[in-house]
Structure 1
Amino acid sequence: MKRITLNILLIATVLIGACRKDPLDLMPDGRITIDQVFTDEMMASEYVNTIYANMQHYGTAYNYWTMLAGYSDEAHDNDFPQDMGRAPSRWYNGELRPNWNPMDIPASVGAYDPTTNGFYYRNGWKGIRQSNVFLANIDKTVFTNPTVKARLIAEVKTLRAFFYLELIKMYGGMPVVDKPFTVDFKFETLPRQSFKECVDFIKQNCDQAIAESNFPWRITTEPERGRFTKAVAHAVRSQALLFGASPLWNPEGDAGRWTLAAADIKQSLQALTDAGYQLYPEYEAFFYGRSDLSPSPGDKETIYEVKTFGGTPEFSHLMFRMHAIPTLGGDKAGCSPSQELVDAYEMADGQIPILGYQDDDHLQPVINTASGYDEKHPYLNRDPRFYATVWYNDALYGDVNGKPYRIQSYVGGADGISNLMQRTHNGYYLRKFRNPKQLDPNTGTALFKKYRLGEIYLNYAEAANEAAGPTSDVYDAVNAVRARAKMPQLPAGLNKEAMRERIRRERRVEMSFEEQRIWDVRRWKILGQTDKLTTGIEWTKTGEGQFTGKRVVAGRRKSWADNYLIIPIPTSELTLMPLWEQNPGW
């Protein structure tokens, strides 16, 4: 999407803007007043671009250029323990505080800076505020083509819903604000509202956007890349309803929320597929590039990719440099898949190889002997998504400089396990998102996929199973995702609890490193079971192509207690909002 910056002061957020003068209502001193903006259809359209500018970049947007996966049990961030000043290390060390959130630091920021606390929080509210300003003023704007105005209104309603969803996932219920504050508004009277009330508001906005016939299903031209569509409204609504029905946000166990979520997500899934959305035929290749834009693209699965802007390096460039194999370029190893993630992948025939662990350190796996899993050769005959996601010891990378190259993550190998930031600490490197044929950091084109059809299938499967048990619709949704990965169908006859476990496993492997796991373990309230540590395998070479391995703890964490389920609201906000209570445990 073309980013055009108006000469308008757009820095005050909803909640920090406790001053009595509206900073958008500027005096005529050479700048443009908000009233002037909405007297011109071009400037009103450009104003929407300023709303998009509040989106975080996701993917590799976290300090420094790391991924959110490293804050969950699906990865170990190899900055730890060598660089204890970096955000992931401080997260592992349990340094989250109301006035200091290691997750909430922009990628490029180095040492701790108090001004960065609440960065994403402020931007989220800024996006909501600007959406409200737009929706309150757009009626007075005359458009040559009325369908453009209708589209923009639907687009901004989806943006407002999106910003609310991103805020409440992290911080819990927020005030539901649907219009700009007046200059004399008393912010100290503003109450928080429940997660459910926020989800209801998100659904209302998305429903209205979906109903707009002039809101397109797809972006089809390059200048519009990065704009929201009707498909995004379905994705936002789907995720909000799923979260709102989940144990963390539905402590009463209200079954009606699951029923509503299942019905609406089913309608979204049907509408998306009717509009031509399909699972991409090849799981691995799907993540190598960005979606092609046309009325009938080759990539029919992507719903929304995060477009790079503002001078930030491309996602593919950062994946090459910051989550790298040392012998193949890059600055550091970044996030490496955890042994716990590796253990979650099924065998190729659908058998579950690792049923759990005998010890708290996960060094003694409970092996399903009927699965055919061989502890000496643990990477044989696994789910194809494993090979698309994880580089493991002795894996064939491909040709490098005309010669076949195998990953040498064994002790003493060229990519060998060590405590250096440039090396894996657990024996693995991340493969997902990077084409092995990409040997130059500047040749990749991948963008981070924020929403895609595969998620909608699994959102529906989970909601429908919780609402009515493992019906044929539940099986069909999960099996559609498995079939694309060339995995067999789930076994027949699963009960509700067994299906729940299979759906959770499916989400974990299908959407690894896509910023799902960190929120899933929270909304399921299993953080204390998953995030105490991560492990890996230390391989020792004993001969040509021969290795012996032992499981090792890659890193222990102090970020798994119940108060970590919901991130604390920045202290600076609570001083302005005396009616608010801090989140539990903070």
Structure 2
Amino acid sequence: MKHILSIFMLLALLATGCTKNYLNITPDGRTTLDDIFKDEKRTEAYLNRVYGQMPSYFWKYGFFDFLAPFSDEAYAYSGAVMGWSAGVLNSGGNPLHTHQERGKGAYHYGTFWAGIRDANMFLENVATANIPSAGNRARFRGEAQMLRAFYFWELIKEYGPMPIVTAPFTNDFDYTSLKRPTFQECVDFIVKECDEVIANDNIPVRITIEAERGRFTKAVAYAVKSQALLYNASPLWNSGNDKSKWEAASLAAQSAINALTTQGYTLVDNYGDYFLSKTDISSSPRDKETIYEIFEPQIDPVFSIINSIPSKPGMFKVGATPTQELVDSYDMQATGEPIITGYQDADHTQPILNPASGYNPAQPYEGRDPRFYATVWYNGAVYDNIGGSPHIMETYVGGTDQLLKAPIGWAFTRTGYYLRKFIDPRLQSGQPEDTRFKKYRLAELYLNLAEAENEAHGPTNIAREAVRKIRARVNMPDFPANLSQQQFQERVRKERRVELAFEEHRFWDVRRWKILNQTDKLVTGMEIIKQPDNSFTYSRFVTERRNAWSDKFLILPIPIKETAIIPDFNLNQNPGW
């Protein structure tokens, strides 16, 4: 944290004044902090600076890498992912950060602290800033408060509990006074901040004016609060399985859903099309599900698509390809039953089929959950508009879009699948240019509720109704009525995986559930051989064995250059690092 704390002190000097004029200036070299907060437009510009610390998400974790291949959702042939899978993560280097090529804020530890710093500086000055409208002042303050909570939540989700800092550091600040709080204390702070934003009458529930796109709302506060309480109740931070934590998470999710649906939030009708465009901004938008989305502009126009298939003209990088484990998670639509109940072997090549599902291993891609077809390109799928004509996917050995087991180039799948989600096959470019990453959406709140309610009270009607909402959207049957608490847990965890695939949840979910050693040792694919009679045979195989699954990988290491800054021995490093 050394350079971050140095910036804290520098900005504190700027705010309090200094005898040397060359120090009493803001980073542009011309305007003092006093000048900024004497002007409403400049004050608002400083708030934009607080927003500007938000790092890149979506497909910018490497060379067009999602977070998904850093989990068991996908495989990707890239330096960042291969380094992660090899277990090279340590306190001196993190592939998630050091290989990020096309985004901003890649160094998350510093980025989140910088966001907290800027929010604190703004909150320190907004009360006396020249803002004629009391409503604007209250809204600006609420947004900065929510940004601080957001950055702090993202920080502790990744690195564990951190000192709660609510004011700019002064030049004589005693850093020995900083202590590492508990995760509970950190979450309590975040919840308090969110509750104050929710109570702020000047913060809207939804943005309705295009010029305000990207600003935080009460809906964001509900989403962050729900997620923080859910994580706090999970095994990673609730080793004693304190039911009161699950109850708090359940109540927060219920409150969020009630508040937002009362204000018009609802699940969109078409799951697949939902991810192909940005939210429309109006008082009555078509997209009533999105709570907050982040724009990640294309930097290189050659790559106007995140992932593609090699037969698409001009493309040579396949990107993150879904794993067989992800494909196995999609139920059969007619019965609503899982296709498998587990694996007979540690390599996941011998699935335990569920006879009640209606799954036919000779026709593995027929009759599946509609979200499968909206997420995965598979052998036999129809991809529109390749050179102006529909293209039938051929992922079998020797096919146009064939599987290549050996790491030769970037053009072909190594799992037997390609990513369909976020891709619009009707467009020649594949990905709409204004696609935005949906950081928070209403569906997550329903899933948060289903999980927390089940853990607190079992599969009650509240838990079952929350899942029913999600599955009904895609015409999937309800869960069976006679599920035990453990069976419901297994089903709802799988439901999260399916509904939120490639949306940066799986990476964190397996950590908070403390099942990393069950999920991340390897990933598999499907090798398909076309027979002379045009039928196909299917054979599972291990795509990659990984070495980033032990308990120390549950919480990321604090960068080594930061560990000596705070003397509290408990903050020097996370367990195992």
Aligned equivalents of 2:300, 2:162: Cα separation in 1: 32
Aligned equivalents of 2:176, 2:201: Cα separation in 1: 40
Which of 70, 86, 94 is 2:87 aligned to? 94
* Residues 1:327 and 2:311 are matched in the alignment: yes
* Residues 1:62 and 2:61 are matched in the alignment: yes
Change (3 A) 1:36 1:544: farther
Instruction: Name which of structure 1's ranges 23-32 and 425-434 shifts more when overlaid on structure 2.
Output: 23-32
The AA in structure 2 aligned to 1:143 is: I
Instruction: Report if the CA contact (8 A) 1:290-1:446 is conserved.
Output: yes
Question: TM-score under structure 2 normalisation?
Answer: 0.93
Unaligned runs of 5+ in 2: 16-22
How far is the alpha carbon of 1:271 from its aligned partner? Answer: 0.2
* Residues 1:433 and 2:422 are matched in the alignment: yes
Change (3 A) 1:534 1:262: same
Structure 2 equivalent of residue 73 of structure 1: 72
Instruction: Report if the CA contact (8 A) 1:322-1:332 is conserved.
Output: no
* Residues 1:104 and 2:101 are matched in the alignment: no
* Residues 1:286 and 2:274 are matched in the alignment: yes
Instruction: Report if the CA contact (8 A) 1:187-1:577 is conserved.
Output: yes
Structure 1 equivalent of residue 5 of structure 2: 15
Structure 2 equivalent of residue 246 of structure 1: 234
Structure 1 equivalent of residue 349 of structure 2: 363
How far is the alpha carbon of 1:403 from its aligned partner? Answer: 3.4
Structure 1 equivalent of residue 446 of structure 2: 457
Instruction: Report if the CA contact (8 A) 1:12-1:23 is conserved.
Output: no
How far is the alpha carbon of 1:246 from its aligned partner? Answer: 0.6
Residue aligned with 2:120, SS: helix
Instruction: Report if the CA contact (8 A) 2:138-2:202 is conserved.
Output: yes
Mapping of 1:130-529 within 5 angstroms? 130-308=118-296, 312=299, 321-329=305-313, 330-348=315-333, 349-418=335-404, 419-420=407-408, 421-440=410-429, 443-529=432-518
* Residues 1:581 and 2:533 are matched in the alignment: no
Instruction: Report if the CA contact (8 A) 1:118-1:570 is conserved.
Output: no
The AA in structure 2 aligned to 1:380 is: E
Change (3 A) 1:200 1:501: same
Aligned residues between the structures: 561
Aligned equivalents of 1:289, 1:21: Cα separation in 2: 39
Q: What is the identity percentage for the equivalent residue pairs of Structure 1 and Structure 2?
A: 47
How far is the alpha carbon of 1:224 from its aligned partner? Answer: 1.8
The AA in structure 2 aligned to 1:27 is: N
Residue by residue, what CA displacement relative to the aligned partner does 1:40-69 show, whole Å, maximum 9, x if unpaired? 111111101111111112001211221000
Change (3 A) 1:183 1:72: same
Instruction: Report if the CA contact (8 A) 2:276-2:432 is conserved.
Output: no
Change (3 A) 1:379 1:23: farther
Residue aligned with 1:123, SS: helix
The AA in structure 1 aligned to 2:308 is: A
Aligned equivalents of 1:208, 1:465: Cα separation in 2: 28
Change (3 A) 1:148 1:87: same
Which of 526, 551, 557 is 1:568 aligned to? 557
Residue aligned with 1:499, SS: helix
Instruction: Report if the CA contact (8 A) 2:178-2:566 is conserved.
Output: yes
Instruction: Report if the CA contact (8 A) 1:13-1:126 is conserved.
Output: no
* Residues 1:27 and 2:17 are matched in the alignment: no
Aligned equivalents of 2:431, 2:361: Cα separation in 1: 39
Residue by residue, what CA displacement relative to the aligned partner does 1:165-209 show, whole Å, maximum 9, x if unpaired? 111111000001111111111224321111111111110111000
Question: TM-score under structure 1 normalisation?
Answer: 0.92
Aligned equivalents of 1:293, 1:239: Cα separation in 2: 25
Residue aligned with 2:203, SS: coil
Aligned equivalents of 2:533, 2:211: Cα separation in 1: 53
Residue aligned with 1:167, SS: helix
Residue aligned with 2:356, SS: helix
Aligned equivalents of 1:141, 1:402: Cα separation in 2: 57
Unaligned runs of 5+ in 1: 1-10, 80-85, 111-115
The AA in structure 2 aligned to 1:175 is: P
How far is the alpha carbon of 1:552 from its aligned partner? Answer: 1.1
The AA in structure 2 aligned to 1:532 is: K
Change (3 A) 1:97 1:109: farther
The AA in structure 1 aligned to 2:379 is: N
Aligned equivalents of 2:541, 2:99: Cα separation in 1: 31
Residue by residue, what CA displacement relative to the aligned partner does 1:472-529 show, whole Å, maximum 9, x if unpaired? 1111100000000110111102221111111101000000000000000000000000
Which of 495, 504, 519 is 1:530 aligned to? 519
The AA in structure 2 aligned to 1:404 is: P
Instruction: Report if the CA contact (8 A) 2:198-2:218 is conserved.
Output: yes
Aligned equivalents of 2:284, 2:467: Cα separation in 1: 25
Aligned equivalents of 1:194, 1:583: Cα separation in 2: 13
Change (3 A) 1:391 1:229: same
The AA in structure 2 aligned to 1:522 is: R
Instruction: Report if the CA contact (8 A) 1:357-1:366 is conserved.
Output: yes
Aligned equivalents of 2:13, 2:414: Cα separation in 1: 49
The AA in structure 2 aligned to 1:493 is: N
